[in-house]
Amino acid sequence: MKLKIAIQKSGRLQEDSLRLLKECGIDISNGGNKLKTTAANFPLEVYFLRDDDIPQYVEDSVADAGIVGENVVYEKKKDVEVVEQLGFGKCRLSIAIGRNEGYDKESLRGKRIATSYPVLLQQYLDANKINAEIHEISGSVEIAPGIGLAEAICDLVSSGSTLLTNGLKEVETILHSQAVLIKNRQATTEKDQLLQRLLFRIRAVKKAKNNKYILLNAPNDNLDKIIGLLPGMKSPTVLPLATSGWSSVHSVIDENDFWQIIEQLKEAGAQGILVVPIEKMII
């Protein structure tokens, strides 16, 4: 028995989805244009599909799990369970208007808003008691105001450069999105166990990405202070250096605290600081 997982066939999420599986130690050769492939060293079958179709396939048990943007999951309103945020494919669903127009929420009333996300937009408008006309289009939403199709748009934004080049500005963010792992709600126990095995690996990879392994030389006089700056998984490892009066200290630090801690460590007399990536982290 194999766990069937659906990922995007081509597009923005495909590369990161394949990379994640690879980092989980799962060996799959994409096989070019294939619809599906089987992993060599894990009971996994990978289906390559359009992202829009993935929630439906997972709801219908054609696939047991899938990797897709939250924006698609919530727009499609399929009955699937979101299991884990995966940290890539980050974007936001935002309303934008002409760069030179004044704005307050009231000004959206009665406007035509072009979007490929009618469900999410309608939810937002209802929640804010705004009566506006939704114009559903399937692509190139950002050109709608320029050709007189709408006065505003609601579309995905990541860098913001598409809005900028089309003379638009972002005025409301209605959803923050990233790629997520979804699963079928009626999965059998056996399928669920496989999914848990996969999830265990995904979490170890994610955890490792957020942390760094740090090694440094510390003068023994300041050892307590330096150790105090390094929480570590349990506590830092301390080994004597060949040079007397010095120790080598090893620990794990959060990527986000990184620069601040490094500065404090230097102030405390730490030398030869090495920070190295961690491949997997199981705690």
In the complex, which residues of this chain contact ligand PRT (CB under 6 A)? 8, 11-13, 50-52, 69, 71-72, 89, 91, 155-162, 177
Q: For residue 23, which phi and psi values (nearest 5 degrees)?
A: -65, -25
Q: How far is CA 252 from CA 151, 180, 276, 278, in A?
A: 51, 27, 10, 9
State the nearest-atom distance from the C-beta of 58 to ligand PRT, in Å. 15
Report long-range pairs for 131-138 (Cβ below 8 Å, ≥24 apart).
132/108
Taking CB under 5 A as the binding criterion, the range among 28-36, 44-52, 107-115, 142-150 that sits at the site for Zn ion is 44-52
Residue closer to ligand PRT (CB basis): 91 or 226: 91
3-state SS, residue 52: helix
Say whether residue 51 binds Zn ion (CB under 5 A): yes
Q: Which residue is nearest to Zn ion (CB)?
A: 52
Determine the residue with CB nearest ligand PRT: 69
User: Between helices 189-209 and 14-23, what is the axis angle to 10°?
Assistant: 100
Residue number, 35 or 40, with CB nearest to Zn ion: 35
Query: Which partner in Zn ion, ligand PRT, none is near 23 (CB below 5 to 8 A by kind)?
Result: none
Cα separation, 107 vs 130, in Å, equals 9
For residue 22, give the nearest of 41, 3, 36 by alpha carbon: 41
| The entry of ligand PRT, Zn ion, none that residue 91 binds, CB within 5 to 8 Å by partner kind | ligand PRT
> Measured from the CB of residue 197, what is the shortest distance to ligand PRT in angstroms?
26
